[in-house]
Amino acid sequence: MADLGVDFFDRIRDRVQARLDQLSKELLDRGQSVILEDGTWKREERDRLRRLAIELHAVTEIHYFDVAFDDLWRRLEIRNANPTYGAVPITTELLEECWLRLERPDDAELALFHRTVVHS
Half-sphere exposure of 11 (CA within 13 A, CB side): 0
**pLDDT tens string 7-65:** 778 888 888 888 998 999 999 999 999 999 877 899 999 999 999 999 999 999 999 99
Q: For the chain, how many residues are written? A: 120
pTM for the predicted model, two decimal places: 0.82
Q: What is the pLDDT of residue 11?
A: 85
60 neighbors 53 (Cβ within 8 angstroms): yes
> Is residue 76 exposed (0-12), middle (13-18) or buried (19+ Cβ within 10 Å)?
middle
Which domains are present in the chain? 12-119 (3.40.50.300)
Q: What is the pLDDT of residue 66?
A: 94
